[in-house]
Amino acid sequence: MKGDFNMLEITVCVGSSCHLKGAYDVIKRFQRLIPEYGLKDKVELKAGFCLGKCTEAVTVKVGNEYFTSLTPDEVENVLKAVKKKVLERSNIK
Ligand code: FES
């Protein structure tokens, strides 16, 4: 197993459909907002290849959950859900 077990992975698809629909703008928004949400040491942001949901681009996978048809403006909602997930995890320990 690699990486920190407690880190939540956020994978933004940069396959061709997602790329065309603005995956890089979504990544940039994540990069800007992750520190603002205090999640810098809690999540690992990655770019990944096709996640198999090309008709619903841009696709983002958070842990085992998929977010589809994502625009940069919706990144904030994803991070609110991520923050909730991270807090739940830390309460379990
Ligand atoms: S290209 Fe992004 S889900 Fe296929």
Domain membership of residue 41 (yes or no) is yes
Print the domain residue range for 68. 8-92
Q: How far is the CA of 91 from the centre of ligand 1 (A)?
A: 34
Residues 6+ apart with CB under 8 A from 26: 12, 58, 60, 70, 71, 72, 75
Cα-based distances in Å from 20 to 3, 42, 67: 30, 29, 17
Domain membership of residue 2 (yes or no) is no
14 touches ligand 1 (CB under 6 Å): no
pLDDT tens digits along 52-93: 999 999 999 999 999 999 999 999 999 999 999 888 877 765
Which atom of ligand 1 lies closest to the CA of 15? 1
Give me the number of domains the chain comprises.
1
CATH number of the domain that residue 32 is part of: 3.40.30.10
For residue 1, name the pLDDT band (cuts at 50, 70, 90).
very low
Domain membership of residue 42 (yes or no) is yes
Q: What is the pTM of this model?
A: 0.90
Domain membership of residue 3 (yes or no) is no
